[in-house]
Chain A
Amino acid sequence: DAGVTQSPTHLIKTRGQHVTLRCSPISGHKSVSWYQQVLGQGPQFIFQYYEKEERGRGNFPDRFSARQFPNYSSELNVNALLLGDSALYLCASSYLTDTQYFGPGTRLTVL
Protein backbone atom coordinates (compact mmCIF):
# COMPACT_ATOMS: atom_id res chain seq x y z
CA ASP A 1 0.00 0.00 0.00
CA ALA A 2 1.38 3.42 -0.95
CA GLY A 3 -0.15 5.03 2.08
CA VAL A 4 -2.32 8.11 1.89
CA THR A 5 -1.95 9.82 -1.47
CA GLN A 6 -2.79 13.42 -2.34
CA SER A 7 -3.01 15.30 -5.62
CA PRO A 8 -1.78 17.57 -6.93
CA THR A 9 1.58 18.00 -5.21
CA HIS A 10 1.79 21.71 -5.90
CA LEU A 11 -0.73 24.24 -7.10
CA ILE A 12 -0.58 27.93 -7.95
CA LYS A 13 -3.80 29.95 -8.10
CA THR A 14 -4.74 33.62 -8.12
CA ARG A 15 -7.00 35.43 -5.69
CA GLY A 16 -10.69 34.79 -6.24
CA GLN A 17 -10.19 31.45 -7.98
CA HIS A 18 -11.48 28.09 -6.80
CA VAL A 19 -9.38 25.01 -6.00
CA THR A 20 -10.07 21.29 -5.51
CA LEU A 21 -7.64 19.07 -3.65
CA ARG A 22 -7.89 15.29 -3.65
CA CYS A 23 -7.04 12.56 -1.18
CA SER A 24 -7.05 8.76 -1.36
CA PRO A 25 -6.96 7.02 2.02
CA ILE A 26 -5.15 3.84 2.94
CA SER A 27 -7.11 0.80 1.79
CA GLY A 28 -9.64 -0.17 4.47
CA HIS A 29 -9.66 3.25 6.13
CA LYS A 30 -13.09 4.85 6.20
CA SER A 31 -12.22 8.10 7.96
CA VAL A 32 -10.54 11.07 6.28
CA SER A 33 -9.49 14.32 7.91
CA TRP A 34 -8.16 17.54 6.36
CA TYR A 35 -5.68 19.94 7.94
CA GLN A 36 -4.18 23.27 6.90
CA GLN A 37 -0.56 23.96 7.80
CA VAL A 38 0.63 27.53 7.41
CA LEU A 39 4.39 28.09 7.37
CA GLY A 40 5.79 28.04 10.89
CA GLN A 41 2.64 26.63 12.48
CA GLY A 42 1.31 23.22 13.34
CA PRO A 43 -1.47 21.65 11.28
CA GLN A 44 -4.97 23.03 11.93
CA PHE A 45 -8.04 20.83 11.67
CA ILE A 46 -10.48 21.68 8.86
CA PHE A 47 -12.82 18.69 8.42
CA GLN A 48 -13.33 15.06 9.27
CA TYR A 49 -15.45 12.67 7.23
CA TYR A 50 -16.47 9.14 8.16
CA GLU A 51 -18.58 6.89 5.95
CA LYS A 52 -19.32 9.88 3.69
CA GLU A 53 -20.71 11.98 6.53
CA GLU A 54 -19.16 15.06 8.07
CA ARG A 55 -18.10 14.24 11.63
CA GLY A 56 -16.29 17.41 12.53
CA ARG A 57 -15.54 20.89 11.28
CA GLY A 58 -12.83 23.28 12.40
CA ASN A 59 -12.94 27.06 12.63
CA PHE A 60 -12.78 27.80 8.90
CA PRO A 61 -15.09 29.98 6.77
CA ASP A 62 -17.83 28.57 4.55
CA ARG A 63 -15.53 29.03 1.55
CA PHE A 64 -14.05 25.70 2.65
CA SER A 65 -16.07 22.58 1.90
CA ALA A 66 -15.36 18.89 1.52
CA ARG A 67 -16.96 15.63 0.63
CA GLN A 68 -16.21 11.92 0.78
CA PHE A 69 -17.02 9.49 -1.98
CA PRO A 70 -18.30 5.87 -1.79
CA ASN A 71 -14.72 4.60 -2.25
CA TYR A 72 -13.74 6.76 0.81
CA SER A 73 -11.59 9.15 -1.20
CA SER A 74 -12.18 12.80 -0.45
CA GLU A 75 -12.07 16.26 -1.97
CA LEU A 76 -11.42 19.58 -0.28
CA ASN A 77 -12.80 22.62 -2.09
CA VAL A 78 -11.89 26.22 -1.41
CA ASN A 79 -13.78 29.04 -3.11
CA ALA A 80 -12.85 32.71 -3.57
CA LEU A 81 -9.21 32.12 -2.68
CA LEU A 82 -7.41 34.64 -0.52
CA LEU A 83 -3.68 35.19 -0.13
CA GLY A 84 -3.98 33.79 3.39
CA ASP A 85 -5.14 30.43 2.04
CA SER A 86 -1.58 29.75 0.90
CA ALA A 87 -0.52 26.73 2.91
CA LEU A 88 0.25 23.03 2.93
CA TYR A 89 -2.99 21.05 2.97
CA LEU A 90 -2.70 17.67 4.64
CA CYS A 91 -5.03 14.73 4.44
CA ALA A 92 -5.04 11.96 7.04
CA SER A 93 -6.87 8.64 7.09
CA SER A 94 -7.62 6.25 9.90
CA TYR A 95 -9.42 3.03 10.64
CA LEU A 96 -12.34 3.93 12.93
CA THR A 97 -10.80 6.20 15.61
CA ASP A 98 -7.31 4.74 15.52
CA THR A 99 -4.02 6.39 14.56
CA GLN A 100 -4.21 8.98 11.80
CA TYR A 101 -1.84 8.44 8.87
CA PHE A 102 -0.89 11.55 6.94
CA GLY A 103 -0.35 12.09 3.25
CA PRO A 104 2.50 14.14 1.77
CA GLY A 105 0.31 17.21 1.40
CA THR A 106 -0.61 19.63 -1.38
CA ARG A 107 1.28 22.93 -1.40
CA LEU A 108 -1.14 25.69 -2.44
CA THR A 109 0.21 29.11 -3.38
CA VAL A 110 -2.26 31.95 -3.93
CA LEU A 111 -0.92 34.97 -5.85
Chain B
Amino acid sequence: AQRVTQPEKLLSVFKGAPVELKCNYSYSGSPELFWYVQYSRQRLQLLLRHISRESIKGFTADLNKGETSFHLKKPFAQEEDSAMYYCALTQNSGNEKLTFGTGTRLTIIP
Protein backbone atom coordinates (compact mmCIF):
# COMPACT_ATOMS: atom_id res chain seq x y z
CA ALA B 1 0.00 0.00 0.00
CA GLN B 2 1.19 3.50 -0.73
CA ARG B 3 1.72 5.91 2.14
CA VAL B 4 3.03 9.45 2.59
CA THR B 5 4.44 10.59 5.92
CA GLN B 6 4.97 14.18 6.96
CA PRO B 7 6.48 13.97 10.45
CA GLU B 8 6.01 17.63 11.41
CA LYS B 9 2.47 18.91 11.95
CA LEU B 10 3.74 22.39 12.79
CA LEU B 11 6.92 24.19 11.77
CA SER B 12 7.93 27.74 12.68
CA VAL B 13 10.84 29.45 10.95
CA PHE B 14 12.19 32.98 11.15
CA LYS B 15 11.99 35.16 8.06
CA GLY B 16 15.18 34.83 6.04
CA ALA B 17 16.08 31.45 7.55
CA PRO B 18 16.16 28.23 5.49
CA VAL B 19 13.07 26.05 5.35
CA GLU B 20 12.86 22.27 5.02
CA LEU B 21 9.55 20.40 5.12
CA LYS B 22 10.05 16.66 5.36
CA CYS B 23 8.20 14.04 3.34
CA ASN B 24 8.80 10.30 3.24
CA TYR B 25 6.86 7.83 1.17
CA SER B 26 6.37 4.12 0.81
CA TYR B 27 5.39 2.69 -2.54
CA SER B 28 6.51 -0.44 -4.32
CA GLY B 29 6.50 0.97 -7.85
CA SER B 30 7.74 4.18 -9.42
CA PRO B 31 5.65 7.00 -8.02
CA GLU B 32 5.20 10.57 -9.08
CA LEU B 33 5.66 13.02 -6.18
CA PHE B 34 4.01 16.39 -5.62
CA TRP B 35 3.88 19.23 -3.14
CA TYR B 36 0.54 21.01 -2.78
CA VAL B 37 0.05 24.24 -0.81
CA GLN B 38 -2.99 25.86 0.74
CA TYR B 39 -2.72 29.52 1.68
CA SER B 40 -5.19 31.03 4.13
CA ARG B 41 -8.73 31.12 2.66
CA GLN B 42 -7.53 29.77 -0.69
CA ARG B 43 -7.99 26.43 -2.39
CA LEU B 44 -5.44 23.66 -2.53
CA GLN B 45 -3.01 24.26 -5.37
CA LEU B 46 -0.02 22.52 -6.89
CA LEU B 47 3.33 23.97 -5.81
CA LEU B 48 5.63 21.61 -7.69
CA ARG B 49 6.00 18.09 -9.06
CA HIS B 50 9.23 16.16 -9.24
CA ILE B 51 9.13 15.35 -12.94
CA SER B 52 9.12 19.03 -13.92
CA ARG B 53 12.22 19.76 -11.82
CA GLU B 54 11.14 23.41 -11.60
CA SER B 55 11.73 25.87 -8.79
CA ILE B 56 8.45 27.52 -7.83
CA LYS B 57 8.43 30.57 -5.52
CA GLY B 58 12.00 29.66 -4.60
CA PHE B 59 11.03 26.15 -3.43
CA THR B 60 12.75 23.01 -4.69
CA ALA B 61 12.32 19.33 -3.91
CA ASP B 62 14.56 16.45 -4.85
CA LEU B 63 13.31 12.90 -5.10
CA ASN B 64 15.65 10.56 -3.19
CA LYS B 65 14.64 7.04 -4.12
CA GLY B 66 17.19 5.47 -1.79
CA GLU B 67 15.76 7.23 1.24
CA THR B 68 12.22 7.36 -0.24
CA SER B 69 12.06 11.06 0.55
CA PHE B 70 10.87 14.18 -1.23
CA HIS B 71 11.73 17.03 1.14
CA LEU B 72 10.70 20.58 0.24
CA LYS B 73 13.35 23.27 0.67
CA LYS B 74 13.74 27.01 0.38
CA PRO B 75 16.96 28.85 1.25
CA PHE B 76 15.37 32.06 2.60
CA ALA B 77 11.86 32.00 4.07
CA GLN B 78 9.43 34.83 3.33
CA GLU B 79 6.34 35.81 5.32
CA GLU B 80 4.07 34.91 2.39
CA ASP B 81 5.28 31.30 2.63
CA SER B 82 3.11 30.78 5.73
CA ALA B 83 0.62 28.12 4.67
CA MET B 84 -0.37 24.46 4.92
CA TYR B 85 1.83 22.16 2.83
CA TYR B 86 0.88 18.67 1.69
CA CYS B 87 3.14 16.08 0.12
CA ALA B 88 1.37 13.65 -2.22
CA LEU B 89 2.11 10.81 -4.58
CA THR B 90 0.41 9.05 -7.43
CA GLN B 91 1.19 5.95 -9.44
CA ASN B 92 3.20 6.81 -12.51
CA SER B 93 0.80 4.90 -14.71
CA GLY B 94 -2.03 7.24 -15.59
CA ASN B 95 -3.96 6.45 -12.42
CA GLU B 96 -4.75 9.81 -10.92
CA LYS B 97 -5.43 8.78 -7.34
CA LEU B 98 -3.43 11.14 -5.15
CA THR B 99 -2.31 9.87 -1.77
CA PHE B 100 -1.68 12.77 0.59
CA GLY B 101 0.29 13.15 3.79
CA THR B 102 -1.29 14.75 6.84
CA GLY B 103 0.27 18.13 6.07
CA THR B 104 2.66 20.55 7.75
CA ARG B 105 1.56 24.01 8.83
CA LEU B 106 4.45 26.38 8.17
CA THR B 107 4.54 29.68 10.03
CA ILE B 108 7.13 32.30 9.14
CA ILE B 109 8.01 34.51 12.09
CA PRO B 110 8.69 38.13 11.07
B interface, CB within 8 angstroms of A: 4, 43-46, 49, 86, 88, 94-103
With A42-B86, A105-B43 given, is the CB distance from A58 to B103 under 8 Å? no
Cβ contacts under 8 Å, B86 to chain A: 42-43
Provide the main secondary structure of the chain B interface. Answer: loop
- Pair B96/A55 contact, Cβ less than 8 Å: yes
Q: A42-B86, A104-B43 are in contact. Are A48 and B96 (CB under 8 A)?
A: yes
Q: With the chains together, A43 CA to B88 CA distance in Å?
A: 10
Docked complex: A17-55 residues within 8 A CB-CB of B = 31, 33, 35, 40-45, 48, 55
What's the Cα separation between A70 and B45 when bound, in Å?
26
State how many angstroms separate the Cβ of B87 from the closest Cβ of chain A: 8
**Which 7 A-B residue pairs are closest in the complex by CB-CB distance?**
A42-B100, A102-B44, A45-B97, A97-B94, A104-B43, A56-B97, A43-B100
Interface size class of A (residues with CB under 8 A): 20 to 34
B residues less than 8 Å from A40 (CB atoms) = 102
B6 to chain A, nearest CB (A): 8
Say yes or no: is A100 at the interface (Cβ < 8 Å to chain B): yes
Taken together as a complex, chains A and B put the C-alpha atoms of A102 and B4 apart, in Å, by 19
Q: What's the minimum C-beta distance from A38 to chain B, rounded to whole angstroms?
A: 10
30 sample A-B contacts, Cβ–Cβ < 8 Å, listed by A number: A33-B96, A33-B97, A40-B102, A42-B4, A42-B86, A42-B88, A42-B100, A42-B101, A43-B86, A43-B98, A43-B100, A45-B99, A48-B96, A48-B97, A56-B97, A58-B97, A90-B44, A92-B98, A94-B96, A97-B94, A97-B95, A97-B96, A99-B49, A100-B98, A101-B46, A102-B43, A102-B44, A102-B45, A103-B43, A104-B43
Q: Chain B contacts of A55 at CB under 8 A?
A: 95-96
